[in-house]
Structure 1
């Protein structure tokens, strides 16, 4: 690879046989008086020559958006790579069009993310990965022999409620133990569990308790397989071993056979390029649909005279000139009745909740009104 871009005999426009050597991979600035030949050298000579190489790499669809420049008046240019020139003016009126999409660089970026990207949980930042049952078992077997294992299936994770149906189902399915809010409990020795419905609870089914030995591998595999089936793809494994001081050392790991965070349940589909395209519904933001902005009401532009009442023109001619029995006027009347609000009061003195619903809607809340 050449270390420099070498230009000889540049005569484009007002250039007088300019010879120049420019280092590659550096930030280069052309500066000088107006008319000194900056644009002639940078755009009409260097870029015009590099553009030909770049356009050759594009699809015929992309070429239609890029006008070809005439061959520059220059004797020699060496060490020049395919070039991109970023203009201040847009070449495409598509609001989703960017430098990356027009130049097709974004296609390679999407492919890069899809093939080598590593997803992470947006809640805890933990890497999201899927594991097979065999992989999970291999990881467990890598621990020290003699370690006591408690293989569990997470059923409830930090949810409020009494969860009576869940515990009844666990009993009915023949399981003996659960871990309830961190405590091991036998479900076969207790008729009812009176959980506080206002507190969050976490429940794991204890699938099996095993001592880690090579001959127990098949039993461990069966327990893991049952755990991920009961835990909808996730399993918690508690490792208990003896420390050097003789005390019991506990460690717990969570595994998942799905592409999801086992702790928070945040899951994603298998990554593919379209997931990273803001031009496609599959990958675009659900809020702005890939535009990068949203349209919202500017309260100050709608309510121009807040010292007046709505019926006297606080919102211009909206409502103030409507028939008192008209369709939209009846909607306004019912909203006022629902909020026990007097429409003759100046807008600025109306309740905040009423004003918000007037301008932005009632959302999922429904009102019943009559129109004849």
Structure 2
């Protein structure tokens, strides 16, 4: 039911009032002093909602809650458990909200963090985390589909590990560390460099750095070969694992003449190449910078 139907309300000075109130809307009850605004809102609708909720609890739980009398009304339909906030201030903290005063704030934070479905703030598409096997399968499908659309010549694919994403710095020590681990090629701000090149970055600018993990070529004729596809999957597994380990859960597939695709063990939007941190209750707190 999408509305609350009150019939024959006679609480206090209400004179057999019947009214329909839409749910999920902001409803204002207004009138002159003594017209019965509070009698309808608090003493009738709220009182009946609270009374029904308490009656649904166990006998043990009801002993800690006051049993409210049934208001003088013929019937109320479509009523849910109710919360009432008086005009008088029950807290002197200026940061108090309806959620904190009613103590449902922490429960709502847990609810959104644990069972909520995050969406991309740019395109509104629902985003999900992927397992290792799911990422490998997605990469495989992207390679096969791209070869099917570009049938004339073999296509080049590069697997990158995005280790720096829009951060300030020169990253000289990072390049030295990558070289010591055997990496030979990096992509800095969409430009390819050999790790031995003199890579000079402006310290005050934001930069993105991707490490090349592997590159391969595939053609339309090859993707129809079952042995080639099986070998492709075997090759992708250690490559994807290495990228995930190096970049803390991220993999980038670069295709010839096409936009990069981001895959993530965490929450990421493949359309906008946007990665989001792990959803935690504190992210829904106004006391936390990201909340």
TM-score range (shorter-chain normalised) is: 0.5 to 0.7
In 1, distance between residues paired with 2:171 and 2:13?
Answer: 84
In 2, distance between residues paired with 1:180 and 1:118?
Answer: 30
For 1:348-359, list aligned pairs within 5 A: none
Q: How many residues align?
A: 262
Please, which runs of 5 or more residues in structure 1 have no aligned partner?
Answer: 241-248, 279-283, 291-372
RMSD: 4.4
For 1:271-290, list aligned pairs within 5 A: 271-272=280-281, 276-277=284-285, 284-285=287-288
Contact kept, 8 Å, 1:4 with 1:79, in 2: the verdict is yes
Please, which runs of 5 or more residues in structure 2 have no aligned partner?
Answer: 148-153, 224-228
- Residue 142 of structure 1 aligns to a residue whose secondary structure is helix
| Superposed CA offset, 1:155-184 (max 9, x none) | 445543272x43343333333333344333
Please name the residue that 1:86 is paired with. 85
Please name the residue that 2:179 is paired with. 171
Contact kept, 8 Å, 1:154 with 1:204, in 2: the verdict is yes
In the alignment, which of 221, 224, 242 is matched to residue 226 of structure 1?
242
In 1, distance between residues paired with 2:57 and 2:98?
Answer: 14
1:226 Cα deviation after fit:
1.4
Contact kept, 8 Å, 1:121 with 1:261, in 2: the verdict is no
Please name the residue that 1:193 is paired with. 198
In 1, distance between residues paired with 2:180 and 2:141?
Answer: 34
In the alignment, which of 211, 217, 221 is matched to residue 233 of structure 2?
217
What is the TM-score normalised by the length of structure 1? 0.54
| Superposed CA offset, 1:37-84 (max 9, x none) | 5544544444433332244568999998x9766554x36334262444
1:136 Cα deviation after fit:
1.8
- Residue 193 of structure 1 aligns to a residue whose secondary structure is coil
Contact kept, 8 Å, 1:62 with 1:103, in 2: the verdict is no
Moved more, 50-59 or 200-209: 50-59
| Superposed CA offset, 1:98-136 (max 9, x none) | 3334445545533441211416579x9997753322222
For 1:87-126, list aligned pairs within 5 A: 87-92=86-91, 97-106=96-105, 109-114=108-113, 115-118=115-118
Aligned CA distance change for structure 1 residues 68 and 107 (closer, same or farther; 3 Å): farther
Query: Does 1:205 find its partner at 2:211?
Result: yes
1:92 Cα deviation after fit:
4.7
Please name the residue that 2:136 is paired with. 137
Aligned CA distance change for structure 1 residues 88 and 61 (closer, same or farther; 3 Å): farther
Please name the residue that 1:160 is paired with. 169
In 2, distance between residues paired with 1:133 and 1:173?
Answer: 23
Aligned CA distance change for structure 1 residues 277 and 54 (closer, same or farther; 3 Å): farther
In 1, distance between residues paired with 2:43 and 2:204?
Answer: 71
Aligned CA distance change for structure 1 residues 225 and 58 (closer, same or farther; 3 Å): same
Please name the residue that 2:18 is paired with. 21
What is the TM-score normalised by the length of structure 2? 0.66
Please name the residue that 1:345 is paired with. none
| Superposed CA offset, 1:332-355 (max 9, x none) | xxxxxxxxxxxxxxxxxxxxxxxx
For 1:295-306, list aligned pairs within 5 A: none
Query: Does 1:76 find its partner at 2:57?
Result: no
- Residue 179 of structure 2 aligns to a residue whose secondary structure is helix
- Residue 174 of structure 1 aligns to a residue whose secondary structure is coil
